[in-house]
Every structure is written in C-alpha cells, then in structure tokens.
Amino acid sequence: MPRTRLHIGCGPQILPGWTNVDNQTYPGVDHVLDVTLGLPFRDVEYVFAEHFIEHLSFDDAFNFMRECRRVLATDGTLRLTTPNLDWVMETHYRRESWASDVDAIDSCFRTNRAFRGWGHQFLYNCQSLEATLRLAGFGSIEGCTYGESRHEPLRGVERHETYPDAPSLPHILVLEASGHGAEAPRGVRAAIDEFHSAIDTI
Ligand SMILES: C[S@@+](CC[C@H](N)C(=O)[O-])C[C@H]1O[C@@H](n2cnc3c(N)ncnc32)[C@H](O)[C@@H]1O
C-alpha cells in the first residue's frame, strides 16, 4: 500500500502520485480544503508545500507546521519552498545603487509589493523559518537547493517560476524538516510576542 504524500497549496500544479490539496477547485485537486483548519491525514510520508506558507499569517503558518509534524510518520519529512527575505531586501532595496529619486521610489514600491503582493502575508529569512519549524516540533532542519533532495521522491517537485538568484543568495528558501523536538533559538519567542503585540493593535 503506497504511503501518503501530501502536496499542499498545489494550485494548478498537480503532482502525479501525490495527494494534491488546495482550498480552490483547480482541475486535478484531490482534496479541496482549508488547511488552516487542520490536516485530516495520518502516517504521512512526505508533505510538500511550494510558495504556500508566505500566503498564510504567521500564526496560521506556525499552526500548519505543527499540523504537519502531527500527521507525518516518525520517519516523515516536510519540504517547504518560500521566497527568501534576504534576497528580497538585497535585490529590491539597495540604497547604495540609487542614482535618483525615481530609483528610491521604485525600490519603495518593489519592496512593498514583495511583502503585500500576490496575497503574501509573511516573508521569512532562513533563520526565522528554521526557528519556526523547531518551535513547531521538528528536530532536524536541512537546507536544500531548488529541485534537489536526498529523498528521491522530493527531487524535481518544484514547479513555480524562478527568478535570478543574487550572487550566493538564492531567491527562495528550500528547507526539509524531520524528526522531533529540538529547542528553538533563544529570543525567538520574544520576537514573536513583539510581532503579535504590534499586529494585534490593528
Ligand atoms: C502562490 S499559490 C502556489 C501554487 C503552487 N504551489 C505553485 O508553487 O505554483 C498558493 C496556493 O495556496 C492555496 N492556498 C492558500 N491558502 C490556502 C489554505 N488555507 N488552504 C489550502 N490552500 C490554500 C491557494 O489557493 C494557491 O493555490
């Protein structure tokens, strides 16, 4: 009996052999559901979510990662692909390269577009994504490159359009999380609490 492989927030990018999940009824979607309400699966081998978590609020993304940990089998792996905040800042807001007010204005709009465009709600750098995965209960976090994995079924699964990487700075973060229960770095909870108190004042 083949084990369950979940492709979450698949959009129109259907992966054969995977259980494709989205909250929209794209052709080929196997389960139409809002995953912020929980994942009705168990003993899952892999969860793959490409350009998905940035479309959730931080809290929803954190709860989603916790749900992934809960439904994954002991030897299961979560693979997340999401825009790299370091790349966004490096390529969108370079004060040293401004030659005119037009350049400054362009940087301002491009940066806000990266944060707010396409339904984006929260962008991560590598450290914050890793810390959030650890808080969600994962013990081992591994950085990968686009299309590559030491797990054969996770190789070549990305479908989203790519952008030119900055020198030594990839435009996306690709992390694989597995295992249980390492400590998150000190200070993470304080940063999240401060973020909450600012967001909750809206
Ligand atoms: C930017 S698209 C990414 C699609 C595809 N993974 C790709 O990389 O091209 C984000 C997808 O997440 C889906 N989505 C957003 N919120 C969701 C939720 N709460 N539950 C399930 N799917 C959701 C959207 O419908 C959309 O198809």
Say which range, 14-18, 131-135, 169-173, has the weakest mean pLDDT. 169-173
Distance 50 CA to ligand 1 centre (A): 8
pLDDT band at 167 (very low <50, low <70, confident <90, very high): low
pLDDT above 80 (res 60): yes
In order of 62, 153, 161, the CA distances from 77 in angstroms are 16, 11, 24
Is 106 within a domain? no
Asked if residue 64 is part of any domain, the answer here is: yes
97 within domain boundaries: no
Pocket test for ligand 1, best of 13, 21, 23, 162 (most atoms within 8 A of CB): 23
Residue 157 in contact with residue 63, Cβ under 8 Å?
no
Tell me the two tokens of residue 131.
């810390």
Residue 181 counted as domain residue: yes
* Pocket perturbation via mutation, ligand 1, pick of 36, 48, 55, 63 by most ligand atoms within 8 A of CB: 55
Domain residues for the domain of 161 are 5-83+119-199
Tens of pLDDT, residues 27-56? 999 999 999 999 999 999 999 999 999 999
What is the Cα–Cα distance from 127 to 144, expressed in whole angstroms? 14
- Collect all residues with Cβ–Cβ distance below 8 Å to 166 and sequence separation of at least 6: 87, 90, 91
Is-contact 39 33, C-beta < 8 A?
no
Ligand 1 centroid distance, CA of 98 (Å):
35
Query: 73-126, pLDDT tens digit by residue?
Result: 999 999 999 999 999 999 999 999 999 999 999 999 999 999 999 999 999 999
Protein residues with CB under 6 Å of any ligand 1 atom: 9-11, 13, 22-24, 34-36, 50-52, 55, 159-160
pTM of the predicted protein model: 0.95
- Kindly state whether residue 102 falls inside one of the protein's structural domains: no
Residue 175's domain is classified under what CATH number?
3.40.50.150
Give the count of domains, the chain: 1
Any bridge partners for residue 6, and if so which?
A: 19, 47
Cα of 76 from ligand 1 centre, angstroms: 22
**Is 89 part of a structural domain of the chain?**
no
Give the atom of ligand 1 at the shortest distance from the alpha carbon of 118: 1
What contacts 172, CB < 8 A, 6 or more positions away? 51, 81, 82, 83, 84, 87, 146, 162
pLDDT per position as a tens digit, 121-165: 999 999 999 999 999 999 999 999 999 999 999 999 998 877 777
Q: How far is the centre of ligand 1, averaged over its atoms, from the C-alpha of 110 (Å)?
A: 22
In a domain, residue 169? The reply is: yes
Residue 175 resides in a domain: yes
